Structure 1
Amino acid sequence: MSHPRPLHCAPVELRQIETNGICANVAVAGSGPAVVLLHGFPHTWRLWSEIIGPLSARYRVIAPDLRGFGATSRASDGYDAGTLAADIAGILDALGEPTAAVVAIDAGTPVAVLLALRYPDLVRRLVVMEALVGTLPGAEDFLVAGPPWWFGFHSVPGLAETVLLGHEARYIAWFLATGTRGRGVREDIHDAFIDAYTGADALRCAFSYYRALPTSAHQIDQAVATHRLTTPTLAIGAHPVGNALERQLRPIADDLTGHVIPDCGHIIPLDRPQELLSLVMPFLAGEQTA
């Protein structure tokens, strides 16, 4: 399937920013109120390639490679949501941004939620997609048959990176095809993602997110025990998560809108970018999206 390049192509500057003991590779584009974009697995900042241009017409878009991913430092530890949230807070401070809207998907979602819970004055608006947040109630239907198979595979220390070494391209390609319901992604993005996840150390970093999930879940439990999610929040689902994330957030959020995009795979920003923009743009502008 051919994928046309986006019509809006704002200039993107890649910056190296010291934060919380790492050097983060950060794509920055546009001017205006800050909007931070947080990717998941198996992505880099280029997950947002179809989104950055339109957003940068109104906002200063800040899209980092998360700790251990892409061109950001392959740290030995710190893959829990709390440390990652501190990474993002440090990036915003280095860029002189006192507040930001945060848009996150997959592994970036628990980071974004914890960022909003711990730094409520920092996060103006929150958009989260296609993920679960720790072990908060509400996702029982999604988890009735257990978590997706790769969660266990990735969680065993040292196993997945050993088994997959030399087979990274086929493994990552499976996630890209499945995450777009077979439609696939642009060839240049496909190749960039595979390159970013090739090699034992790159795989170790990626799977460290899964190995830190119990710690991240505990951090979220602690945060919601004493704080509510006061930031206006938009929870977007697709296939397979659907509205499970919305159900998790509903009891702890003061201002929550939920939406499920039909016929859309897990990798929403690449599978249905225009539908995503039609939800995110008015929400960021403070308009009603429900």
Structure 2
Amino acid sequence: MTTLSSEISLRRIATNGIEVNVAIAGRGPAVLLLHGFPHTWQLWSEVIGPLARGHRVIAPDLRGLGASTRAADGYDAGNLAVDAAGLLDAVGEPTAAVVGIDAGTPPAFLLAMRHQHRVRRLVLMESLLGTLPGAEDFLSAGPPWWFGFHAVPGLAEKVVAGNEAAYIDWFLDAGTLGHGVPGPIRDAFVEAYGNPEALRCAFSYYRAMPASARQIHDAAATARLTVPTMAVGAHPVGDALARQLAPITDVLIHHEIPGCGHIIPLHAPTELVSLLSDFLAADRGAALRPD
């Protein structure tokens, strides 16, 4: 175990055939944070501290990303949900509030759909849920250009090789509407994706999207999302995710953060912490209430 500060420690934890690098902080009801691309657990750097005042925060590097195992396969959302459930088992948490953004949203959703007894509350941000109805306006001009680029096996790794920093910077600038992210976090992201094998793992998420979409479709066709759920939108996804969730979710709250880019935890951390704190307050009270 590596201690980064008085609040955050890093651990390597075995789950579902891989080892996951995990940042853990605080005590209380568990909150699992699932990042996206091109991020690591450090996406949540400005969120972990405030949340850890009343929760045990668990922020892994997803399969193949950051310092987690560069697995050969298993990047579909269903298997990533198995990773997450195994991680909760390994740290002794039978339940958690789960927060997902970007590539972390589909596995967070499937974890809640397939194991609703394990997810007390669900927060989903800035992603689409496969081909579920509701995102037609967002997709009217087609999906973002990099979806197709990343989906071609082996291509993007070769094209990006030697230009990883510039490529990652483009996403970080676009995702914060030109503001960029703090220098040390930017450097950590660039280092995390600075070689072809790391990029291969990242692009595997896009190559698994058809399988993930089928899993999401099947889950939504056979069950409803019964856990209290909050959808948080910014630019560019906006309310598309909430529109996908509305027909299949029993309790849905939707917020959009004006003037905020895709990378909400780093572009608008104060607003996000406020939304999460309010949404998780009821969860914390229920979790601490004696039986």
- TM-score above 0.5, yes or no: yes
Report the Cα distance in structure 1 between the residues aligned to 2:229 and 2:123, rounded to whole angstroms: 6
- Structure 2 match to 1:215: 211
Alignment of 1:152-163 (within 5 A): 152-163=148-159
Structure 1 position 268 matched with structure 2 position 259: no
Residue 237 of structure 2: aligned partner:
241
Gaps of at least 5 residues in structure 2 are: 284-291
Amino acid at match of 2:169: A
Q: How does 1:50-199 map to 2 (within 5 A)?
A: 50-199=46-195
Q: Give the Å deviation of 1:222.
A: 1.0
Q: Is the 8 A contact 1:10 1:52 kept in 2?
A: no
Structure-1 separation of matches of 2:87 and 2:153: 29
1:225 is displaced (CA, Å) by 1.3
Query: 5 Å matches for 1:38-49?
Result: 38-49=34-45
TM-score (norm 2): 0.95
Bigger mean CA deviation after superposition, 223-232 or 202-211:
223-232
Instruction: Give 1:10 deviation, angstroms.
Output: 5.4
**For residue 106 of structure 1, what is the amino acid of its counterpart?**
D
Tell me how far 1:226 sits from its aligned partner.
Answer: 1.1
Deviation of 1:286 after TM superposition, in Å, equals 2.0
Q: Distance in 1 between matches of 2:259 and 2:99?
A: 21
Write the distance in 2 (CA, Å) between the matches of 1:261 and 1:205: 30
CA deviations over 1:109-133 (Å, ceiling 9, x no partner)? 0010000000000000000100000
Bigger shift: residues 278-287 or 21-30: 278-287
Q: Tell me if structure 2 keeps the 8 A contact 1:10–1:30.
A: no
Secondary structure of 2:97 counterpart: strand
Give yes or no for contact 1:229–1:253 (8 Å, CA) kept in 2: yes
Counterpart amino acid of residue 134 in structure 1? G
Alignment match of 2:250 (pick from 225, 246, 254):
254
**Could you say which residue in structure 1 is the equivalent of 2:196?**
200
SS at match of 1:93: helix
> What residue identity is the alignment partner of 2:26?
G
- Is this contact kept in 2: 1:236–1:261, CA < 8 A? yes
Q: How far apart are the structure 1 equivalents of 2:151 and 2:70? A: 18
Give a deviation string over 1:82-110, Cα, whole Å, max 9, x none.
10000000000011101000011000000
* Equivalent position SS for 1:24: strand
Tell me the secondary structure at the aligned position of residue 121 of structure 1. Answer: helix
**Counterpart-to-counterpart distance in 2, 1:138 and 1:153:** 24
| Matched residue, 1:5 | none
Indicate which of 27, 30, 41 corresponds to 2:26. Answer: 30
Structure 1: unaligned runs, 5 residues or longer: 1-8
Within 2, Cα distance between the matches of 1:65 and 1:47?
10
User: TM-score if structure 1 supplies the norm length?
Assistant: 0.95
Asked if residue 285 in structure 1 is aligned to residue 285 in structure 2, the reply is no
Question: Could you say which structure has the higher helix fraction?
Answer: 2
> C-alpha deviations, 1:116-156, integer Å up to 9, x for none?
00000000000010000011000000000000000000000
CA deviation vs aligned residue, 1:235-263 (integer Å, no higher than 9, x gap)? 00000000000000000000000010000
Aligned pairs, number: 279
| CA–CA separation in structure 1 for the residues paired with 2:61 and 2:274 | 25
Amino acid at match of 1:204: R
Q: How far does the alpha carbon of each residue in 1:151-198 deviate from its partner, in whole angstroms, 9 at most, with x for none? A: 000000000001101100000000000100001100000000000001
Contact residue 130 and residue 238 of structure 1 kept, 8 A: yes
Moved more, 87-96 or 218-227: 218-227
Does the CA contact (< 8 Å) of 1:124 and 1:232 recur in 2?
A: yes
Separation (CA, whole Å) in 2 of partners of 1:111 and 1:88 = 8
CA distance in 1 between partners of 2:11 and 2:280 (Å): 25
The separation in 1 between residues aligned to 2:104 and 2:227, in whole angstroms, is 17
